[in-house]
């Protein structure tokens, strides 16, 4: 396969397009944003923080191997393979919103080459590839699966900040709507990806054809929902440990010394994946009980943190409380479903005056997002550390003058040296 298009030049799609282009495949990168296409055309990433992307993108664009475009039809017409990585989000009722995915499918389908391969990397509810996207492609293109159209699902399994490393590290899961589609998708990814040796895996590393689109869809939802369930259990253990007057971190470390225990740490759940994908799983299987329970537990954790902080400070009403870390996790300038958002809302509901600090955002950017910026070293009554940024590993009382308590959700601040400031963590008295 010599030509490919990647639809969606976001934090996952753009590095993937660069990877494909670097493997010797002439690649078109498609996006609906003029700004994104213009920046990519100049060889500059439209977002910061992805290691090796800047230099690899400049090389791919400079050599002509990667061409960004707004014209999805032209890109599909010129490509042997079209990889779709556009967002699928949930609405206010936690239902999947297929608007962007349906629009991309309708736009590319009429221009597909005979015998073309379409691979959806967007994480999907089980049955979406076969039951929704395949009919959309066949109706708009006039082509038919296992004849002159090949369709597969291959869920992205990478994280912002480590995309290129993750592409090498994790097996690429593939599932076609038929055997021929699975075989063609497998061949494509073996052509464009390189893998680290992983002797610990139960089958050879590389591309794993799971035999059906449904199996590939479910595998991605299972691995992500597992993490939500695990964190939910850890959060319940943390509450129980607090009541017992013991430290859950010691309990978890002891339990995990047995090789069949893999307990996660308690905390706030954020990001594009873990708070969202359980709802995709439930969209196809609403009878499942554990995912819904874990979502309820994890969604309630910010309020539990604020309850403890209120008890430690004698109440939060009228108090200036600093939320340290807007990002959903340390080192990544992203706020998708960040626990900070729930903390700010909860503080406002309790009559507090929340202020926000994050070393990755300027004060002007924070203000534009609707937050009152906070500067370390200025007075506050209390603080919550929400993201484990490296800058917070040396935090001390001089950074929070006037604070009577700090609640470190991530356990990333120094445990000692706080003087009269009471330091609290999840899962410990």
Domain stop point among 188, 210, 232: 210
- Position of tokens 């282009």? 21
The answer to whether 117 and 82 are in contact (CB under 8 A) is yes
Strands (E), 334-399: 353-357, 382-385
pLDDT at 198: 87
Widest CA span of the chain, in angstroms?
73
Q: In this structure, are 204 and 224 located in the same domain? A: no
Two tokens, residue 221: 């939802």
Tens of pLDDT along the chain (429 residues) come to: 899 999 999 999 999 999 999 999 999 999 999 999 999 999 999 998 899 999 999 999 999 999 999 999 999 999 999 999 999 999 989 999 999 999 999 999 999 999 999 999 999 999 999 999 999 999 999 888 877 999 999 999 999 999 999 999 999 999 999 999 999 999 999 999 999 988 888 887 799 999 999 999 999 999 999 999 999 999 999 999 999 999 999 999 999 999 999 999 999 999 999 999 999 999 999 999 999 999 999 999 999 999 999 999 999 999 999 999 999 999 999 999 999 999 999 999 999 999 999 999 999 999 999 999 999 999 999 999 999 999 999 999 999 999 999 999 999 999 999 999 999 999 999
Q: Is 151 helix (H, G, I), strand (E, B) or coil?
A: strand
Domain stop point among 210, 245, 274: 210
Q: In this structure, are 332 and 235 located in the same domain? A: yes
Domain of residue 294, residue span: 212-429
Cα separation, 263 vs 257, in Å, equals 10
The answer to whether 212 and 179 are in contact (CB under 8 A) is no
Q: What is the β-pairing status of strands 3-7 and 116-120?
A: unpaired
Backbone angles phi, psi at 96, to 5 degrees: -60, 135
Domain stop point among 210, 232, 251: 210
Two tokens, residue 35: 């700004």
Contacts of 86 (CB under 8 A, 6+ apart): 7, 8, 13, 100, 101, 104, 122
Q: In this structure, are 190 and 302 located in the same domain? A: no
Query: Closest by alpha carbon to 40, among 27, 333, 120, 51?
Result: 27
Query: Nearest-5° angle of CA 29, CA 34, CA 40?
Result: 45
DSSP code for 11: T
Q: In this structure, are 251 and 103 located in the same domain? A: no
Contacts of 70 (CB under 8 A, 6+ apart): 30, 31, 32, 34, 37
Q: In this structure, are 189 and 276 located in the same domain? A: no
Two tokens, residue 4: 């490919």
Q: In this structure, are 37 and 52 located in the same domain? A: yes
Q: In this structure, are 235 and 203 located in the same domain? A: no
Contacts of 95 (CB under 8 A, 6+ apart): 279, 283
Q: If you count them, how many residues does the chain have?
A: 429
**In what side-by-side order are the strands of the sheet with 382-385?**
353-357, 320-324, 382-385, 405-408, 422-425
Two tokens, residue 131: 């039951």
Q: In this structure, are 381 and 332 located in the same domain? A: yes
**Helices and strands, number each (H, E), in the chain:** 15, 15
Cα separation, 324 vs 321, in Å, equals 10
Q: Is 307 helix (H, G, I), strand (E, B) or coil?
A: helix
Contacts of 90 (CB under 8 A, 6+ apart): 96, 97, 276, 279, 280
Q: In this structure, are 254 and 374 located in the same domain? A: yes
How many domains in the chain?
2
Contacts of 139 (CB under 8 A, 6+ apart): 109
Long-range contacts of 412-416 (CB under 8 A, 24+ apart): 412/330, 412/385, 412/388, 413/385
Catalytic site residues?
220, 273
DSSP code for 112: P
Query: Closest by alpha carbon to 89, among 283, 377, 263?
Result: 283
Q: Is 356 helix (H, G, I), strand (E, B) or coil?
A: strand
pTM of this prediction exceeds 0.85? yes
Contacts of 36 (CB under 8 A, 6+ apart): 9, 46, 68
Query: Nearest-5° angle of CA 285, CA 286, CA 287?
Result: 90
Q: In this structure, are 180 and 249 located in the same domain? A: no
Q: In this structure, are 274 and 326 located in the same domain? A: yes
Backbone angles phi, psi at 271, to 5 degrees: 105, 175
| Domain of residue 357, CATH code | 3.40.50.720
Two tokens, residue 377: 């070293």
Backbone angles phi, psi at 143, to 5 degrees: -100, 165
Q: What is the β-pairing status of strands 116-120 and 81-84?
A: parallel
Q: In this structure, are 234 and 184 located in the same domain? A: no
């Amino acid at each position: 396969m010599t030509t490919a298009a990647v639809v969606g030049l976001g934090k996952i799609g753009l590095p993937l397009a660069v990877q494909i282009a670097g493997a010797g495949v002439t690649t078109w990168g498609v996006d609906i944003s003029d700004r994104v296409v213009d920046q990519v055309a100049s060889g500059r990433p439209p977002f910061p923080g992805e290691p090796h992307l800047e230099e690899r993108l400049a090389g791919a664009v400079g050599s002509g191997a990667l061409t960004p475009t707004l014209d999805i039809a032209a890109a599909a017409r010129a490509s042997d393979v079209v990889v779709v990585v556009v967002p699928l989000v949930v609405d206010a009722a936690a239902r999947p919103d297929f608007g962007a995915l349906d629009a991309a499918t309708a736009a590319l389908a009429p221009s597909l080459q005979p015998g073309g391969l379409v691979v959806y990397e967007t994480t999907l509810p089980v049955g979406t590839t076969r039951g929704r996207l395949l009919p959309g492609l066949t109706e708009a293109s006039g082509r038919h699966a296992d004849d002159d159209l090949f369709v597969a699902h291959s869920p992205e399994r990478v994280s912002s900040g480590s995309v290129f490393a993750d592409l090498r590290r994790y097996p690429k899961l593939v599932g076609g709507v038929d055997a021929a589609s699975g075989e063609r998708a497998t061949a494509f990814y073996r052509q464009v990806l390189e893998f680290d040796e992983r002797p610990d895996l139960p089958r050879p590393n590389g591309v794993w054809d799971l035999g059906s689109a449904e199996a590939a869809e479910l595998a991605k939802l299972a691995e992500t929902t597992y993490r939500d369930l695990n964190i939910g259990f850890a959060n319940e253990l943390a509450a129980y440990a607090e009541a017992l007057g013991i430290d859950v971190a010691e309990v978890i470390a002891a339990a995990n010394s047995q090789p069949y225990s893999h307990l996660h740490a308690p905390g706030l759940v954020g990001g594009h994946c873990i708070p969202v994908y359980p709802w995709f799983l439930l969209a196809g299987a609403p009878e499942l009980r554990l995912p819904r329970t874990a979502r309820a537990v994890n969604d309630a954790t910010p309020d539990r943190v604020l309850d403890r902080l209120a008890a430690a400070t004698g109440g939060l009403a009228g108090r200036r409380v600093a939320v340290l870390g807007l990002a959903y996790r340390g080192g990544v300038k992203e706020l998708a479903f960040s626990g900070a958002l729930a903390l700010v809302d909860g503080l406002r509901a309790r009559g507090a005056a929340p202020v926000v600090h994050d070393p990755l955002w300027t004060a002007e950017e924070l203000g534009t997002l609707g937050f009152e910026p906070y500067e370390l070293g200025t007075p506050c009554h209390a603080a919550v550390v929400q993201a484990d940024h490296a800058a917070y590993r040396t935090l001390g009382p001089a950074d929070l003058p006037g604070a009577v308590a700090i609640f470190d959700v991530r356990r990333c601040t120094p445990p000692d040296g706080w003087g009269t400031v009471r330091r609290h963590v999840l899962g410990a008295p």
